[in-house]
Amino acid sequence: MSERTLVLVKPDGVSRGLVGEVISRIERKGLSLVALELKHVSRELAEQHYAEHAERPFFGSLVEFITGGPVVAIVVEGVRAIAAFRQLAGGTDPVEKAVPGSIRGDFGTEVQYNLVHGSDSPDSAKREIDLWFPNL
Ligand code: RTP
Ligand code: MG
């Protein structure tokens, strides 16, 4: 069954020139791009996007990081797109969890600077797509 997910290439991924690499992996997996935008992220948007982490000790630095440079936001569509992109991304910690062959496993070293975001459930995907692409 086809579904949609929100992917972000985070500021570290954009500044390292990995946008094309991420898009290429999405396309080669067989998923489609529905919407794509280079965005400068406001503090409000960052805080809403990561609201579930508001009480975590890293929340402040996470918001600083996400607002620190442009991100590329992408709505991705396809069969099992939510889980499929999470698999492409790899685990949150690029060294301890993400395996080689995943985006984080191939290109990341630090847990905060882990290059990409992908929605983690159908409810998160709907909430995040509405937040980032209110006109879609
Ligand atoms: P994301 O939401 O960005 O797709 O990442 P995720 O599901 O794999 O990980 P999550 O637990 O939702 O954490 C969100 C983001 O917060 C940063 N983080 N920093 N300093 C730390 O210990 C720490 N832990 C998480 C990462 O950028 C992570 O992707
Ligand atoms: Mg998450």
What percentage of residues in the chain have a pLDDT greater than 90?
99
For the annotated binding site for ATP, the residues are: 10, 58, 86, 92, 104, 114
For ligand 1, say whether the CB of 7 is within 6 Å of any of its atoms. Answer: no
pTM of the model: 0.97
CB atoms within 10 A of CB 101: 11
For residue 124, the CA-to-ligand 1 centroid distance in Å is 14
| ipTM score | 0.93
pLDDT value of residue 1 = 83
Active site residue 117: yes
Query: At residue 18, what are phi and psi to the nearest 5 degrees?
Result: -100, 10
Task: Supply 116's token pair.
Answer: 């990409």
Sheet with 32-39, edge to edge strand ranges: 32-39, 71-79, 2-9, 116-118
Q: Mean pLDDT across the stretch 22-45?
A: 98
pLDDT, tens only, 59-113: 999 999 999 999 999 999 999 999 999 999 999 999 999 999 999 999 999 999 9
